[in-house]
Structure 1
Amino acid sequence: MEKLKQRILEESTVMSEQVLNLDGILNHQVDPGLTMEMGREFAARFKDAGVTRVITVESSGISVAFATALELGVPLVFARRKKTLLADPDALCERVPSFTKGIVTDIMLSRKYIREQDKVLFIDDIIANGDAARGLVKIIGRSGAELVGLGVVVEKCFQAGARTIREQGIRLESLVKIESLDNGTITFTD
């Protein structure tokens, strides 16, 4: 997506050779038009996969996952990162480290919102080390549902996350791939 690449170049900030701040596009502010374009792109890529639910991890993936679910005409479910008083005591849970937050959190998904007969499309904002993605993949596996693929807005190719997901035989589609953030410069790859 050339438009997305251009927006990343214009509005993101390289924080280090490992970290790209996308707050103005994905993580703090959301451009509804661009988000809907991303959702349409993911829906087109997975249109023949028989998706019955779109799933994501709160919170930065929710807007793009919503746009994708809307285009596909299926429900959106998101795994929570914080337990609430209303949390399902029988929820599927996985403990995962957060690369950007520097902490370990639990991600939880109520069994009420994922069924064995579901074909699930997992949508996320960024894949770096892939810890949250691998955690949600484990939860989906334990639910008995079929994971038909993972769509990520930004793949950081210089970190191992996407590679480890693909090594599990999971289809992973990225809208933008970043090869490097060296010297404060964003270098894209195809």
Structure 2
Amino acid sequence: MEELKQRILAEGSVMSNDVLKLDAILNHQVDPQLIMRMGKEFADLYRTEGVTKVVTVESSGIPVAFTTAFELGVPLVFARRKKTLLADPDSLIERVPSFTKGIVTDIMLSRQFVTEQDRILFIDDIIANGDAARGMIRIIERSGATLLGVGIVIEKCFQSGAQAIRDQNIRLDSLVKITSLQDGQITFG
């Protein structure tokens, strides 16, 4: 997605050789028109696959997952990172480390919203080491649903997450691939 690449170059900030700050695009502020185009891109990739639900992890994946679900005409279900008083006690839970936050959290998905009849498209904003994505994949597998694929807005190819998922023979599509952040320069693949 050339438009997204240009926005990353203009509004992204390289924090280190491993971290790209995208608060102006994905993680704090979103451009609704750009997000809608991203959702359409993912929907077009999976339109003929029989998706019944789009799944994501809160919170940065929600806007793109929502627009993808909207384009496909299916519900969006998101896994929560914090347990609330109203949380389903029968939720599927995985403990996952967060690369950018530097903490370990639980992600929880209610069994009420994902069943073995579902055909799932998992959407997320960025994949680095892939811990959250692998946790979400384990939850989807335990639910009995069929995982059709994973859609990632930005894949950091120099980290192992996306390749580890592809190595499991899981389809993974990225809108933009970044091959390096060395010396403060963003290099696309």
CA distance in 1, matches of 2:136, 2:115: 15
CA distance in 2, matches of 1:30, 1:9: 16
CA distance in 1, matches of 2:27, 2:84: 22
Residue 96 of structure 2 aligns to a residue whose secondary structure is strand
CA distance in 2, matches of 1:169, 1:57: 21
Give 1:106 shift: 0.1
2:117 corresponds in structure 1 to 117
1:31 corresponds in structure 2 to 31
Mapping of residues 86-125 of structure 1, within 5 Å: 86-125=86-125
Give 1:66 shift: 0.2
Is it true that 1:148 corresponds to 2:148 in the alignment?
A: yes
CA distance in 2, matches of 1:26, 1:177: 15
CA distance in 2, matches of 1:171, 1:147: 9
Mapping of residues 53-132 of structure 1, within 5 Å: 53-132=53-132
Give 1:92 shift: 0.2
CA distance in 1, matches of 2:160, 2:48: 28
Letter of the aligned partner of 2:144 in structure 1?
A: G
Q: Is there any run of 5+ residues in structure 1 with no aligned partner, and where?
A: none
CA distance in 1, matches of 2:148, 2:33: 26
Kindly tell me the number of residue pairs found equivalent between the two proteins: 189
CA distance in 1, matches of 2:157, 2:58: 23
Is it true that 1:21 corresponds to 2:28 in the alignment?
A: no
CA distance in 2, matches of 1:48, 1:165: 22
1:168 corresponds in structure 2 to 168
Give 1:48 shift: 1.3
Residue 64 of structure 1 aligns to a residue whose secondary structure is helix
Residue 81 of structure 1 aligns to a residue whose secondary structure is coil
- For 1:45-96, what per-residue CA distance to the aligned partner results, in whole angstroms no more than 9, with x for missing partners? 1111110000000000000000000000000000000000000001000000
CA distance in 2, matches of 1:167, 1:80: 27
CA distance in 1, matches of 2:123, 2:26: 13
CA distance in 2, matches of 1:168, 1:128: 16
2:5 corresponds in structure 1 to 5
CA distance in 2, matches of 1:150, 1:48: 15
Q: Is there any run of 5+ residues in structure 2 with no aligned partner, and where?
A: none
CA distance in 1, matches of 2:159, 2:17: 11
CA distance in 2, matches of 1:103, 1:184: 25
Letter of the aligned partner of 1:52 in structure 2?
A: T
State the TM-score, normalized to the length of structure 2: 1.00
CA distance in 2, matches of 1:52, 1:34: 24
Residue 78 of structure 2 aligns to a residue whose secondary structure is strand
Letter of the aligned partner of 1:164 in structure 2?
A: A
The percent identity for this pair of structures is 73
Runs of 4+ in structure 1 over 2 Å off = none
CA distance in 2, matches of 1:177, 1:5: 9
CA distance in 1, matches of 2:113, 2:169: 25
